[in-house]
Amino acid sequence: MPRKSVTSRKSHAPRKGLVPAAVAAASALALAACSGGSSGEPEPGASGDGGLTPVTVGVIPIVDVAPIYLGVQEGFFEDEGLDVTLELAQGGAAIVPAVVSGEYQFGFSNVTSLLLGSQQGLPLKVVAPGNLTTGESGKDFAAVVALPDSGIGSAADLAGKTVAVNTLNNIGDTTVRKVVDDAGGDASAVEFVEMGFPDMPAAVESGQVDAAWILEPHLTRALQSGAEPVAWNFAETDPNLLIAAYFTSQQQVSEDPETVDAFTAALEQSLTYAEEHPDETRAVLDSYTEIDPAVKDAMVMPRFTAELDEAQLQLLADLGLEYGMFDEPVDVSALMP
């Protein structure tokens, strides 16, 4: 998928002809000064001259961020006085340092990556949920798949097998280990292989790996190619599992709380609207992804909510500790608003 940017300025709809965005992956997670808020006493989210306050948000070209694109399209951010530019990056490895340095004011990342960053001393603050599991085994946007003749019929059978994940030591393998253990298998015997989601359907079909933990729209691609689900690791870990979140830096919160409040309000409205208007949410994917129409129509979308619960972060922090991702307990409260 191409890397693009979209801005909310001058229109309540995504700009046509989206242009490539050069997203710098910082070589070090150094703490640099973030952009300060405007002087005087402007309205929340408004610039000192009465115009819109520009903010840049780092996002990933996946179905999970559909609500923020929909919110830009519906004008929710402009209504809060914000001129939002959405910059597509490949993942949190680029987005987290860009937010910390102030290049982006806000970003999107899976919760486990944010927990890792917080434990490493990065001043990150979650402002809103990103997306959740549907909570339904058999109808979720993430699953572990294998071929029918693989000998893998359940999560327990993954022990001793190779399983593709997009990033080692992250939310994928911790939740897979969880469901393997719960099914009576030996989670320590699973061999994880790092691989991009787009490459996983072919890798399973060719036997390059025994199974793959895969997300939409690539999950539907794999199922249409003959793979079968053997575990729904998100839904089976917890029916209310929070997968990702939108975040900012502590410095942004301290120096420009009005913009943070305005962004959070618009994002919460976007998340609620997305959940209540699933057809519009699915349709907005065309503005920043390239998904085959047949796949887009068939795939399962995540669940969206504006409610942020610290217990959801704690669940993944506990799993990370249990499976050796963290050397000591993570202070989840440090990430909360």
CATH topology assigned to domain 5-133+241-335: D-Maltodextrin-Binding Protein; domain 2 (3.40.190)
Crossing angle (nearest 10°) for helices 310-322 and 111-119: 70
The domain locations on the chain are 5-133+241-335, 142-237
pLDDT value of position 2 = 38
CATH architecture of 142-237: 3-Layer(aba) Sandwich (3.40)
Do 142-237 and 5-133+241-335 fall under one CATH topology?
yes
Q: What is the pLDDT of residue 8?
A: 55
* Reported pTM: 0.83
Sheet holding 5-7, edge to edge: 5-7, 82-88, 53-59, 106-110, 242-249, 124-132
Spatial CA neighbour of 128 closest among 112, 111, 141: 111
Structure confidence at residue 7 (pLDDT): 59
pLDDT recorded at residue 91? 80
pLDDT on residue 157: 98
Give pLDDT, residue 22.
32
Give the Cα separation of 87 and 185 in Å (integer).
41
Average pLDDT, consecutive stretches of 10 residues, N- to C-terminus, the chain (337 residues): 46 33 33 34 46 96 96 98 94 89 96 94 97 97 97 97 94 96 97 94 97 96 96 97 97 97 98 98 95 95 96 96 93 94
Cβ-contact 57, 107 below 8 angstroms: yes
Of 182, 134, 133, nearest to 154 by C-alpha is 182
Tokens describing residue 245:
């979140």
